[in-house]
Amino acid sequence: MEARLFWIGVFMGGYAWLTRRWTSSGKLDTKERAAAWHALFFGMAGFAVMLILVLSVESRLRFVSAAAGVLSWREVLAGLAGGSVLALFGLWRAWSQGADAEKRRAFLNEDLEWADTVFSAVFLASLLMYFIVQAFKIPSGSMESTLRIGDHLFVNKFIYGVRIPFTQKRVLRFRSVKAGDIVVFQFPTDDPEAQHCGGQQYAKDFIKRVVAVGGETVEVRDGAVLVDGKPRGKEPFTQFVDSYRMEAPAMLPPPGEYQQYWQDGQLDGKLGDTMRDHFGPVKVPEGSYFAMGDNRDRSCDSRFWGPVAERYLKGKAWVIYWPPNRMGLIGAQAP
């Protein structure tokens, strides 16, 4: 969403700058040019409104954040439809009034004021969402009972450092990721066609609890988690909904191959659901994290698709703001 808002702000800012320049130079003094420029503004506004509406609906139906710079076909079609309708309306409105110089100046000044307002509000909102805080919604039960389906929450995006745009570098880091943190991240793959957990997960946002950080070794035996060979013991935030444990697979790849398959996100394709209760040991690469859902029997997590590299991390789950009876800070009990 923040990338969409950023570019909407950029285009509106550009429109406002050109409007000022061309108005002062007299380039928009004719009926035809004024009508075309007015229609362009209405078209841009219609495209932006429809794009945001579609993305808002999709983000509530699926826990998805589209990849920066990539528009879904739904967004494009809806934006073109909304933009075309409003552009035609703007053209008709300006053409019917454009013969009068005073009216031309009035609707161009009106467009300029709106463009300035949208530029300021949307551009600042995009910066806020990119660097400071962003809203998310929980779509599944993988984090129950800590987080429930339908919970709306804010994610702190600066606690692990402010990401420099268009790079993987972070500055002003308040603290590092720790085991026990509940984090939001983009699904760790750069392959749009990759299949995990029943479908394509590329560009989706996931929320899980960090179990181990880079350099630590993780293993799961009969559903129990061990880090560096030590059992976690009873974790108060986890739950197991099945009364049975799956049997360990009879044959496993050699340890080196097992580790590489896991790091490459290929292990689930070879071992399937058995990894739910019998997994590893694997060593978490430096600069990466091992993340699991609190609802261990119903979570698609690092057991199946590998480590979460730092570059995919978005922030730390901070506070539930909806529904009212669930409002409050999100506890991150240490293991």
Nearest to 327 by CA among 141, 152, 143, 155: 152
Marked catalytic residue, from 59, 140, 204, 208: 208
Q: List the domain boundaries for the chain.
A: 2-131, 134-329
Flag whether the pTM goes above 0.85.
no
Which one is catalytic: 59, 65, 126, 142?
Answer: 142
CB-CB contact of 74 with 58 (8 Å):
yes
230 tagged catalytic: no
**Element housing 207 (H / E):** strand 205-213
Neighbouring residues of 60: CB distance < 8 A, sequence distance ≥ 6: 137
CA nearest neighbour of 50 among 25, 82, 27, 20: 82
H or E segment and range at residue 150: none
- pLDDT (tens, 9 = 90+) of the chain, 335 residues, equals 667 788 888 899 999 999 999 988 888 888 899 999 999 999 999 998 888 787 766 655 544 343 334 566 777 888 889 889 999 998 998 888 877 888 888 888 999 999 999 999 888 888 888 788 888 888 889 999 899 998 999 999 999 998 877 677 888 889 999 999 999 999 999 888 888 888 888 888 899 999 999 999 999 999 999 999 999 878 889 999 998 998 888 889 999 999 999 999 999 888 888 899 999 899 999 999 999 999 999 999 999 999 999 999 999 999 999 888 999 999 744 44
Strand partners, 204: 64
DSSP 275: G
In angstroms, the CA 108 to CA 234 distance is 66
The answer to whether the peptide bond before residue 307 is cis (omega within 30 degrees of 0) is no
Residues 6+ apart with CB under 8 A from 234: none
Any catalytic annotation for residue 208? yes
Cα–Cα distance between 157 and 195 in angstroms, integer? 28
Supply 216's token pair.
């630590």
Architecture of domain 134-329: Ribbon (2.10)
CA 104 to chain centre: 42
Query: C-alpha distances in angstroms, 222 versus 2, 107, 158?
Result: 42, 70, 37
Angstrom distance (rounded) from CA 207 to CA 137: 10
d(CA 70, CA 244): 43
Residues across the chain: 335
